[in-house]
Amino acid sequence: MTYGNGSDGVAMSDRSRAVRTISVLAVAALTVSVIVGVGSHAPKETPVRGAAPAGYDAYAEAVDVAFCEALATQLSELGDDPATGNRSAGSPAEKEAAQLIEQTMKDIGLQNVTADAAASDGWTYRGANLDFIDADGVARHIDLGGYAVNLYADRERIPVVYVGKGTAADYENVDVTDKLALIEIDQENEWWINYPAYQAKLKGARAVLAVSLMEDNMGDRLGSQDVCGSADAPALAISMDDSRALRTAIESNGYEEGGTRQIDVQFTADSRVTANAGTSNVWGEIPGKSDEVIFFIAHYDGYYHSFYDDASGVGLILGMAKAFVESGYEPQKTLRFVTHGAEEWGRADTEADWATGAYEQIVHVRPEWAKEAFALINIDSGYPLSGMKSFQISVPYEMESFIRNSIASFGDRSDIAITADGGLPGSYREDFIYNASGVPTIANEGGEGDERYFAGMYHSNKDLLEEGGYSEEGADAIERYYGYTAMMLDELPLRPLNFAARFEALKSSYTDDNPAQNSVNFHLLANVDRAITAAQSLDNMIKVYNADYKTLLVKGDAERAGQMMENASGLNEKIFKAYKLIQDELLRLDWLMTYEFANEGIQSNIANLEAAIASLEDGNAEDAVYEYLSSIEFVTGATAFDKETCDYFIERMYTRLAGTWAEGRIVSKACYADDVVRSLLAKMAEENPDYAAEIAALGELMAEQEEILKGIYDTQSVSLVRLMDAMNEPVDLNAKEE
C-alpha cells in the first residue's frame, strides 16, 4: 500500500475543508417502472448473526490460514537485494513473484489463469551500502534502503556532509558538490523525499541519504516510500542509528574542506530505473453462471521484504480462492482473483507514480472488466499482526449501508471487531482507479494495533514476519468475513448501491461560510434535493427486489429467481453508468491528490486566501503564511526550498500525469501563491513592512479561484442533467412468466 502523503510533494497539511459531498442525480432521474414479482414490502433490518449464505459453512470449514501465511512467506523471501529484499516493478524479483503466484493459482484450482502484461517503468534495486570509520575508530558497514532512482557506484571514495533537513537554508555556506548529503526528515508532517532530493541535485550533491522519521526513535529501521520525484535526483534510506553514527564521526574525526565538515566513506550502489520495462497482473477465477464478476485484489510487489504490505494480502485472497474451490462453492457470479504488480511504484518522474499495474489493467488491458464488475474487495491493509483485535472496512458512500448490514449479519462468527467507514476512496490504494472506472469497491483497512505497524514497520526493513508475527485469528476473521460478504453479494441480483448518502454529502459541501456561496447555482441545489428523494426511492426498490429474490430462493423457486436475476441486468447497467458518470464529472483530485468533490479544494483555497488577506491587513504576515497560505496546494514548499525546486514540481503536475491514474482528474490549474509567500518571508524581517502588493496579488488569485469555482458549479449543474438523462428510461423489473 502506498501511503497517502506520498503524492503531496510536501506533506499533507490539515486543510479545513467543507464536508465531503457529491452531486449526482444519477438515480434521481431513475423513473423506474418497478413491478416486483413477489411483493412490495420494505425489507426489515438484517439481524445480528444473520443466516449464512448457502455454502458458507463449507467455505468456512475449508479456510486454511496456514496456507495464507506460507504463501506470504514465500513471496516475502523474494528480493533483488540480498541485504534488504525489494521486488519492484519490472525487476527480476517481481517477475519471480508473478511466476510463483501464477503457479499457485493453478495448483489451488483456479481456472483461466492468466498473466497479463501491463505497461510500466521498471526499477531494480540491487542494494547500496557504505563503509566508514566511526568516532571510536571502529570500521562500520551500513546497508541502505532504496528509492526508485538511478544511482550507481562501485566502492567509490566519497565525502558525506550533514545538511539538517535538506532545505535551501541548510545549504547556506555548505558545499555538497559530488558528495552525499545526509538529512533527517519527517515525511509525514514536513515534506516528502522528492523536495530535498531535488534541492540536493540543484546543489550538486551525488545523492541524499535520508532518515525517514515516523516517530522519535527509529533505531535501525530503514524506511522508503514512492519517490514522487525525478529518477535523476537520487535518494537512499539510512537508519537513525547509522545516521547518528555518521554525524558523530563527521564531528569527531571528519575534516573540513571549504568551510564544510565531512567524512569520507566507501560507497557502493546499484539502483536502476528503466523506461517501459513492463509488469504483470496475474489472475485466475471461479467461473459463475452470469457475466457479472466479484473481484478480489491485492498486490505482490513491495519495498524491502514487505511480508505484510502486501504479500500477506496475496496470501489472504488466494486463501479465499482455495477455500471456495475446496468447499465446492458454485457462484452465481464469477469470482476473480487479481494480483497486481507495480503498485508501490511504476512510473518515473511523476507525482502519481504508484498503482500503475492496477491502472493499466482496468483502463488499458481489460477495460471491459469495469462494466462486468458487481463489486471489488481489496485486501491491502489491516495486516494480520500478532495481537490483532480489529479491522476496518472502507467503502464509497453508496456501499456503506450494505457493508454495515453484512457486518451485522456476520455477527459473532469471529472475536475480531469489524467496523466500517463510508466516504470517498483514498487515491493511495489501487482500488481507487477501479472505483474511478465505475467499480464499487470494498477495501480492508487498518485496525487496532496498526499504529505499531505504521510507526515501526511500514515500507521498511522491519516489514518481516519475525517482527510482527502472524495472527491466525485475525487472518481467519478476514478470510471468513470477506468470503461471507462475497457470498452475500453473489446472492444479489441488483448492485446494492444507495446514492442518497453521496447526494447528502454533495449538498453539505456547499458550506454556509464559503465566501463564494452566492455563486452557487441554486437550481443545482434544488436538483440535489430531488436527487436525494429519488435515491431514497431507488434504494428502497433495490432492497425490495433483492429481498424478494432471496424469498424465491428460500421457497425453492429457482426458475422465477433465475428470471429475476436475468431481468436485473438492465438496471445494473444503468446503475453502473450513473456511478461512472459520478466519478468522471463530479469528482476530482486536488493538487495534493485528495479525491473529493470538484468544488471542495477550490472552496478551501478561497477561504485560505480570504483569511490570509485579513491577516495581512492586520499586519500579521506569519499567520498569513504559516496558517493559511501554506494550506494551499504546494505552497508549503515555498517556505523551505528554492523557487526552482518548487516550480519544477508544480510544472510537472501539468506535464507528467499522462499515463497515470491521475490523468484528467486534477481539478484545475494551480493556485500559484509561491511568489507571494517568498515576498512575505523576505518582508517579515523588515521593521514596518508594507503588504499592499501582496494583498493585491492574493486578491487577484482569489478572483481567479472564484471564477474557477463558478465554472465548477455550472459544470455540476450540467452533469446532473446528464445523469438524469442517463437514468431516465424506465426499466421493467418484472419476472416474466411463461
Give the pLDDT confidence of 218-254 residue by residue, as tens digits: 789 999 999 999 999 999 999 999 999 999 999 999 9
All three cell numbers of 692, joined, read 499592499
What is the predicted pLDDT for the residue at 26? 30
Contact status, residue 454 vs residue 214, Cβ threshold 8 Å: yes
In sequence order, the 6+-apart residues with CB closer than 8 A to the CB of 124 are 80, 88, 90, 91, 92, 271, 272, 274
What is the predicted pLDDT for the residue at 454? 82
What is the predicted pLDDT for the residue at 382? 78
CA-based Rg of the chain, rounded to a whole angstrom? 27
Least reliable range by pLDDT among 30-34, 418-422, 475-479, 561-565 = 30-34
What is the predicted pLDDT for the residue at 513? 53
**Mean per-residue pLDDT for 307-316?**
96
Distance CA 277, CA 254 (A): 42
Percent over 70 (pLDDT), the chain: 89
Neighbours of 212 (CB within 10 A): 27
Distance CA 222, CA 241 (A): 10
540 to 32, 500, 527, 546, 660: CA distances (angstroms) = 12, 11, 20, 10, 38
Q: Is the dihedral of CA 155, 87, 426, 453 positive or negative?
A: negative
- Between 721 and 118, whose confidence is greater? 118
DSSP output for 285-310: EE--SSS-EEEEEEE--BSTT-IIII
What is the predicted pLDDT for the residue at 442? 97
pLDDT at 435 > cutoff 60: yes
What is the predicted pLDDT for the residue at 255? 92
Query: Across the strands, what pairs with 549?
Result: none
**Mean per-residue pLDDT for 666-679?**
90
- Between 511 and 490, whose confidence is greater? 490
What is the predicted pLDDT for the residue at 207? 98
Distance CA 583, CA 719 (A): 11
What is the predicted pLDDT for the residue at 539? 85
Contact status, residue 126 vs residue 300, Cβ threshold 8 Å: no
All three cell numbers of 293, joined, read 464478476
594 to 8, 12, 183, 591, 687: CA distances (angstroms) = 9, 9, 28, 7, 39
- Residue written as cell 429519488? 534
Any idea how long the chain is? 738
What is the predicted pLDDT for the residue at 55? 94
All three cell numbers of 492, joined, read 444479489
Angle at 370 between CA 369 and CA 376, to 5 degrees: 90
In this structure, are strands 279-286 and 207-212 parallel, antiparallel, or unpaired?
A: unpaired
Confidence label for 494 from pLDDT (cuts 50, 70 and 90) = very high
Q: Coil, helix or strand for 261?
A: strand
- Residue written as cell 471564477? 707
Residue 677: name the closest of 661, 691, 660, 663 by CA: 691
Distance CA 399, CA 395 (A): 6
Contact status, residue 650 vs residue 691, Cβ threshold 8 Å: no
Report the mean per-residue pLDDT for the chain: 88
Confidence label for 306 from pLDDT (cuts 50, 70 and 90) = very high
- Between 524 and 473, whose confidence is greater? 473
HEC profile for 640-683?
Answer: CCCHHHHHHHHHHHHHCCCCCCCCCCECCCCCCCHHHHHHHHHH
pLDDT at 733 > cutoff 70: no
What is the predicted pLDDT for the residue at 259? 85
Distance CA 504, CA 420 (A): 18
Residue 348: name the closest of 226, 261, 531 by CA: 226
What is the predicted pLDDT for the residue at 667? 80
Query: Across the strands, what pairs with 143?
Result: 129
What is the predicted pLDDT for the residue at 155? 97
Q: Coil, helix or strand for 448?
A: coil
Contact status, residue 62 vs residue 323, Cβ threshold 8 Å: yes
What is the predicted pLDDT for the residue at 512? 59
What is the predicted pLDDT for the residue at 523? 79
Residue 199: name the closest of 237, 171, 225 by CA: 171
What is the predicted pLDDT for the residue at 732? 64
Q: Coil, helix or strand for 169?
A: helix
What is the predicted pLDDT for the residue at 586? 87
**Mean per-residue pLDDT for 254-268?**
93
**CA of residue 649 relative to chain centroid, distance:** 20
In this structure, are strands 180-185 and 207-212 parallel, antiparallel, or unpaired?
A: parallel
**Mean per-residue pLDDT for 393-406?**
95
Residue 516: name the closest of 613, 607, 591 by CA: 607
pLDDT at 128 > cutoff 90: yes
- Model confidence over 104-117: pLDDT tens digits? 999 999 999 999 99
**CA of residue 559 relative to chain centroid, distance:** 43
In this structure, are strands 260-274 and 122-133 parallel, antiparallel, or unpaired?
A: antiparallel
| Terminal-to-terminal C-alpha distance of the chain | 52
Least reliable range by pLDDT among 451-455, 505-509, 622-626 = 451-455
Contact status, residue 391 vs residue 471, Cβ threshold 8 Å: no
Residue type, 444: N
Q: Is 216 exposed, middle or buried (0-12, 13-18, 19+ CB in 10 A)?
A: exposed
Confidence label for 569 from pLDDT (cuts 50, 70 and 90) = confident
- Model confidence over 626-640: pLDDT tens digits? 999 999 988 889 999
Confidence label for 731 from pLDDT (cuts 50, 70 and 90) = low
Q: Which runs of consecutive H residues, i.e. helices, occur in 511-597?
A: 522-555, 558-567, 569-581
Confidence label for 718 from pLDDT (cuts 50, 70 and 90) = confident
In sequence order, the 6+-apart residues with CB closer than 8 A to the CB of 569 are none
**Mean per-residue pLDDT for 382-391?**
90
**Mean per-residue pLDDT for 17-43?**
31
What is the predicted pLDDT for the residue at 313? 97
Q: Is 135 exposed, middle or buried (0-12, 13-18, 19+ CB in 10 A)?
A: middle
Confidence label for 7 from pLDDT (cuts 50, 70 and 90) = very low
What is the predicted pLDDT for the residue at 511? 64
- Between 406 and 571, whose confidence is greater? 406
Q: Which helix (H) or strand (E) holds 73?
A: helix 65-76
What is the predicted pLDDT for the residue at 499? 87
**Mean per-residue pLDDT for 483-491?**
97
